[in-house]
Amino acid sequence: MKDSLDKQAARIAGDFLQEKVKTSYPIEGKGITNQVCVVETKIHKVVVRMNGKDEYQSFIKEKWCIEQAAKVGVPGPEVLSIGIVDETAYMIQPFIEGDNGVDSTVPKSTIWRRLGEYAKLIHSIQVKGYGENLIDPVHGEFQSPPHAGSDGTWQGYVQHNINSLTEHDRLIELGVINQMESERIKNRFEDLKSEPFRFGLNHGDISLKNTIVNQANQVILLDWNAKVSVVPHATVAQLMHYQILGLDESPNTEEFQAFMEGYGISGEDLSGIRNYLLLRAFDNLRWAINRRPDLVKPYAAFAKQVVNMIME
């Protein structure tokens, strides 16, 4: 980048607002995918999120998701502008006063209960298709790009993972499963194929760090990484994933229960969700084997943890 991060953000925001910028500074540690800066003028205070120009489509998708979520009652920051300047894709949003959910004095279980309510509302948004690419914003149609072994559909995704469970499977070689477990897991995945799933929009990263709690104690949801997948499985599996990894943003037992109560999910629903979590763990590991050898070891360790949890 030609300019420093804050200077570039100041230039983008100043051009959009047509106002002289007083100050701009990066927000550290809050933007994993994007680079995030706050820009202030005499009248306005905005957040500028930036990434490479190839990420422009993700900003289009996020803008669409925020607008659809607002219609069903999920509060989020308005999107003032998105665009591309000098090879940089950007999104401008109003700065929301309040505390990040991680730092808020509001009880964490209260925030998680509200996030459960939000997840259910998000899952009610009308969408079509399956996958992470928004190909038709007018009709809310999503698509997953086909790849070797899968045609990009949900059925293709499950079948690819069934077909991969062979006696020469790298997952056996890596010690994630043995041959007997492979056969049992294949049966579980076959059950997933015949399950009459509901498909819905998923936020993609529901966590305390992606919330702001304002002075009225309203929980505002940020930073979408959306996709259309099986619901509520994909969202709950993401929380379980964080718990298994022991991430700071993962809910503890009480907070997870609060989320489930907010959504209206009973403990009986968790068996199917665990099978989905296993499917996703295996698929991610196979992706790492093919594309990211540096991630094979941690992904294999995670997959083994999921196997142990499910097969016990």
Per residue in 1-57, pLDDT (tens digit) is 446 888 999 999 999 999 999 999 998 765 556 799 999 999 999 999 999 999 999
| Confidence check: pLDDT of 272 > 90 | no
Cis geometry, peptide bond prior to residue 232 (ω within 30 degrees of 0): yes
Mean local confidence (pLDDT), 262-287: 91
pLDDT of residue 72: 98
pLDDT of residue 30: 56
pLDDT of residue 34: 73
pLDDT of residue 270: 84
First to last CA, the chain: 51
Can you list the domains of the chain with their CATH numbers?
A: 5-95 (3.30.200.20), 100-311 (3.90.1200.10)
